[in-house]
Amino acid sequence: MIVLTLKTKATLYFDDNISLTILSTHRGAIKFGVVAPRETSVHRGEIYSRIQKNNKPHSKADSEKKNKFPSILSIKEIT
């Protein structure tokens, strides 16, 4: 796990096609936006866990491909 401290409007990039931008913070809550290709699923942790419980087991190759964390991570401040 990587732990980062970011300011509002900071953007994280995952490979070349996924980005996460910090939009605002308020009373311990963080609002962020995610830009990703349509074929990329984005879920909150509890929803993802529920989906995984309801899905039938996939092949080992499918699981490894789906769980692979992007290898490139960069941070850019939006001005």
Q: For 70, which DSSP code?
A: P
Pairing of strands 10-14, 29-35: unpaired
Give the Å distances, CA to CA, from 52 to 28, 64, 66. Answer: 28, 14, 12
* CB neighbourhood size of 42 (10 A): 11
Nearest to 43 by CA among 25, 55, 57: 55
pLDDT at 35: 94
Q: Is the pLDDT of residue 71 over 90?
A: no
pLDDT at 55: 86
pLDDT tens for residues 3-43? 999 999 999 999 899 999 999 999 989 999 999 999 998 89
pTM flag (> 0.75):
no
Both tokens of residue 46?
């509890």
